[in-house]
Amino acid sequence: MVEAKGPTLFTIPAHRAFSDALAAGLIRQFGGDDLGLARGLVLLPNNRAKRALTDAFVRASAGGLLLPRMVALGDPALDEAVGAALDPADDPVPVPPAVAPLQRRMMLARLVSEERARAGQAIDAAEAVRLAGELARTLDQLLVEEIAPRRLREIELSEAMSAHWQRALDLFAVVLDRWPAELQRIGRIDAAERRGVLLQRLAERWDRTPPAGFVCAAGITDSAPAVARLLRCVADSPRGMVVLADLATAMDEIEWQPLGPHAPDPVTGLTRRSIETHPQFHLKLLLERMSVNRGEVRQWRDGSDHDATVARGKAVANALASAEFTAKWTTLGPEQRRLGGIAAAELATPGEEAQAIALALREVAETPGRTGALITPDRSLARRVAAHCARWGIAIDDSAGRPLSILPSGTLLTALAEAATQRFAPLALLTLLKHPLVRFGDARRDWLDGVRALDRVLRGPRPAAGLAGIDLHLRTARRGEAAAWWPEARALLEPIERVFDGGARPIAELLGALREAAQALCGDALWAGPAGRAAAELLREAEDHAAHGPAVIDPASLGPLLKTLMDEVAVRPPQGGHPRLAIYGLIEARLQTADVMILGGLNEGTWPGLPAPDPWLAPRIRIELGLPGLDRGVGMAAHDLAQALGAPAALMTRARRGGTQPAIASRFWLRLQALAGDRFERATALEGWARALDDPGEHLPAAKPMPEPPAERRPKAIAVTDVDRLKADPYAFYAKRILGLTQLDPVDADPSAAWRGTAVHDILERWAREDACALDKLHDRARARFDGVHPMQRALWRPRLMEAIDWIVAQMGRNIDAGRTVLAVEQSGEIAIAGVTLTGKFDRIDRLPDGALAVIDYKTGKPPSPAAVREGFSLQLGLLGLIAERGGYAGIAGKARGFEYWSLSKKGDAFGYVTSPVDAEGKGDKVVPEDFTTLAARHFSDAVADWLTGARAFEAKLHPDYAPYAEYDQLMRRDEWYGRE
């Protein structure tokens, strides 16, 4: 190699495969000597780039090859990676070790909590940890950009600065003032500061004593001052070179200069804003800090078999031009607009987009020797694609990994913390007990049998809080299977309940209780695999460093705090996926190569993503300090897009809808589409295949069901409460009585009308049987019914019930004064009629002064209307009176003349009123009392003749106006046929 007199800088354009071109060039220059490459050092941006370059060397070498040492500048263990060259043992002033990331997070969270509390704005620990993470990122940016914290004091704030930003800035400044003392106390420094010091010392060392072998800094886009100085040192070294990725050496100077950064105007003192959203801005900034002119950068001469065309690279660069220069598109010729080799697929939904991408990857996999990769910042889309490919037996590694918070080990810890925080509310408790890691192994089958039994018991309104509330509920429910199993689960949960119910505690104590309970529930299965090891490591570090955080926290904060931390832990799968397919995030995709690059999720807000707000520094303050703008990531995303479009074949995809709302196409998509015009190639075949996979061809809605079971399967006994269901919705009766299907109440449900009715009937039945209808005992009986009820439910519903109870006591007192007596309550009976057995249980029957019977039904809601009775529905009181008249109830005889609904609902300003479906004079379209039981018998006999002793089909929703039941609507597929008959 001929030594250059000036800095040695190269660029590899986007249409060339960076890693392959770099490997080919290094082999050409240094591969002639057997140890020529081995003596060299290649500086790369990250560990994924090291793997990509290693693969490129393997592809480029014809046989065995000794590779150069590769070092990732983004590696936390940077000093260990470079060895003595970076941190020599004889250094008179050793660099202090870096503070551990989680230790730093806890310390900052404590400072934030203390300063917020001092300002009268106390926050919980979870919010403090979240804000500490944002604070750490902002602090790192200050350190990386080598901006002294004292600059904050020198900023002249305008009067227009909002009070919010003023408070945030004040708090930020106070924390920064206290932070150096905190670090000095533990003998540590920030990792970003340590990295800068190490890079500075390395540059100084190489300035004095250049390395013996070659040094190549390749693909580095970090424009930090320390990195820029090191790169300049490398470029100036006799055997050093810097290779940039896709520097626009051909861009007109009139477009290049406005990118920035700009010096302040000498007259006004104002600084023109840089165009940080441009894909070349970060490279221009890097060159500025290296004190290098763009004209000194030469083009790398080597290429590879994975390169695209030069014309496509120029077209992509034109499409990503600054907004003020896009007018030139109208002057470009057809060849300068052609995006040959790039296709675009626009799908309806994210699911359809994932389907299309999976099909494209499958096509690559079925082509021998071809490679393909999906690049997307949307991890949800990446998971969908991997799942689709798994259906075909294609395993693809997502190098960006998945957050620990959504993996089984993470969700178990979150579920356990939430269950303990919510005092084992049914939904949280069952979520925990049903978790796939709980009782993992041979014992899980028996465990799940017990959990299912408990699930059935806990359906309905929430019981009282805590494990004691579950105990009381199980005793009240009298469910033997669940009650027999529950002590096993209770013993595992009791230790964590004692800790979490004790008020504010140290974080370490809460984490210890959480860890022990998780171990008891899951055993070693919780800590197995990559996710388990990541969870174990996170808990270990959190417990080790908890003492540096807030002194005590509310146990309710532990779940959100853990989720915040787990969201930031990426669990990457072990290697072993498909050898020719990959899924990358934007950072992992840099310097990667594939025959087919698929760019997924090209919607605004995804690629590019929305700039993350800085809760500490206002945008104007960031500009004043010289920090990167919040939208600089847009420029980096644009550069990543240009690099990915340099593959031999590229496919861009987007979905027109994102979740529940329309999605806006990415600005990059729209620019490419506008530039190419009618030459914007659509992957119509792929779009069609993705739709065809889920297209049934034709939609055949189900017909209204009308089952006709044989006579021997039709019930020969029916309860009075089922008669309306039989007549109005015969199919619902069929599903309930013949198929034996009953709907379960939801877990942790609000008290329904049915539940309230059951509770009222239970109170009145116990009052009658155990207290002999003593009016002075009804209040006590009603209060006792709420002993095992959740306090919230008791507070909301008991006052209403007690007012209704007061009304019942008063009404019964008036009845007694009028000569009425209570004959019986809650008694069952039956009679034979029309060839079947009619059964019924009344709430109460009174003897009227004239000797006739009065049938009373308690209602917690609105009683039936007279019109329903006239139509032959709501005949329950009449049928109960019929059974009584025909001797169906033991000890009761007489003619039924009174039929009353005692409603406990509100009417006017009071709770409770009496209404009747009959009237002595037939007023209000009501039935005459003497005819009510006859009318009920006739309608009942007609229904029995049709469906129970006859052969009529059980038609769904025969009379929908009187069929409010919805529990069987899904079974009958109601929405497919209702309204189409």
Which residues 6+ apart lie within 8 Å of 79 measured at CB?
86, 87, 95, 198
Neighbours of 565 (CB within 10 A): 22
Kindly calculate the radius of gyration of the chain based on its CA atoms and give it in whole angstroms: 38
Residue 4 has pLDDT above 50, yes or no: no
In the DSSP assignment, the letter for residue 704 is P
Please, what is the angle between helix 529-545 and helix 408-421, to 10°? 50
pLDDT of residue 1: 39
| CB-count burial class (<10 Å; 0-12, 13-18, 19+) for 3 | exposed
Positive or negative, the Cα torsion across 403, 406, 411, 415? positive
Residue 2 confidence class, pLDDT cut points 50, 70, 90: very low
Q: How do beta strands 240-245 and 9-12 pair?
A: parallel
pLDDT of residue 756: 67
Residue 162 has pLDDT above 80, yes or no: no
Cα separation of 839 and 844, whole Å? 15
Residue 163 has pLDDT above 80, yes or no: no
Give Cα 732 to chain centroid, integer Å.
37
- Does a cis peptide bond (omega within 30 degrees of 0) precede residue 225? no
Nearest Cα to 600, choosing from 671, 639, 656, 653? 653
Kind and range of the H or E run holding 70: strand 69-72
The answer to whether the CB of 883 falls within 8 A of the CB of 931 is no
Mean pLDDT of 801-816: 79
Which residue do the tokens 């393909």 mark?
A: 372
Which residue do the tokens 């990915």 mark?
A: 644
The answer to whether the CB of 852 falls within 8 A of the CB of 885 is no
Residue 905 has pLDDT above 60, yes or no: yes
Which residues 6+ apart lie within 8 Å of 354 measured at CB?
381, 384, 385, 387, 388
Tens of pLDDT, residues 448-480: 999 999 999 998 888 888 999 999 888 877 678
Adjacent-strand bridge partners of 803: none
pLDDT of residue 786: 65
Please, what is the angle between helix 350-365 and helix 684-693, to 10°? 110
Tens of pLDDT, residues 26-54: 999 998 887 889 999 999 998 889 989 99
Cα separation of 114 and 141, whole Å? 24
3-class SS string, 674-713: HHHHHHCCECHHHHHHHHHHCCCCCCCCCCCCCCCCCHHH
φ/ψ region of 76 (left if φ > 0, alpha if ψ in -120 to 50, else beta) reads: alpha
Tens of pLDDT, residues 731-787: 999 999 999 998 888 888 776 666 666 777 777 777 767 766 666 677 677 676 666
Q: How do beta strands 853-859 and 836-847 pair?
A: antiparallel
Q: Record the tokens describing residue 62, joined without a space.
A: 């014809």
232-249 burial, b for 16+ CB within 10 Å, e for fewer? bbbbbbebbbbbbbbbbe
Phi, psi (deg, nearest 5) at residue 967 = -70, -20
Residue 227 has pLDDT above 70, yes or no: yes
Mean pLDDT of 668-684: 92
3-class DSSP assignment, residue 605 = strand
Give Cα 424 to chain centroid, integer Å.
22
User: What does the DSSP assignment read for 13-52?
Assistant: -TTS-HHHHHHHHHHHHHTTSTTTTTT-EEEESSHHHHHH
Cα separation of 748 and 17, whole Å? 57
Q: For the chain, give the mean pLDDT.
A: 88
Name which of 214-218, 644-648, 656-660, 727-731 the model is least confident about.
656-660
User: What does the DSSP assignment read for 118-147?
Assistant: HTT----HHHHHHHHHHHHHHHHHHHHTT-
Cα separation of 1 and 522, whole Å? 62
Q: How far is CA 234 from CA 3, 263, 774, in A?
A: 13, 27, 99
In the DSSP assignment, the letter for residue 759 is H
pLDDT of residue 80: 56
Nearest Cα to 318, choosing from 332, 307, 304? 332
Cα separation of 112 and 775, whole Å? 62
Please, what is the angle between helix 480-500 and helix 466-477, to 10°? 170
Higher-confidence residue of 369 and 788: namely 369
Tens of pLDDT, residues 195-210: 999 999 999 999 988 9
Neighbours of 179 (CB within 10 A): 18
pLDDT of residue 76: 66
Tens of pLDDT, residues 292-351: 999 999 999 988 777 888 889 999 999 999 999 998 898 888 888 889 899 999 999 999
Neighbours of 208 (CB within 10 A): 6
Kind and range of the H or E run holding 612: none
Q: What is the pTM of this model?
A: 0.85
Which residue do the tokens 């033997």 mark?
A: 480
Neighbours of 670 (CB within 10 A): 14
pLDDT of residue 3: 47
Tens of pLDDT, residues 695-743: 888 888 888 999 999 999 999 999 999 999 999 999 999 999 999 998 8
Mean pLDDT of 417-423: 95
Mean pLDDT of 594-606: 95
Kind and range of the H or E run holding 863: none
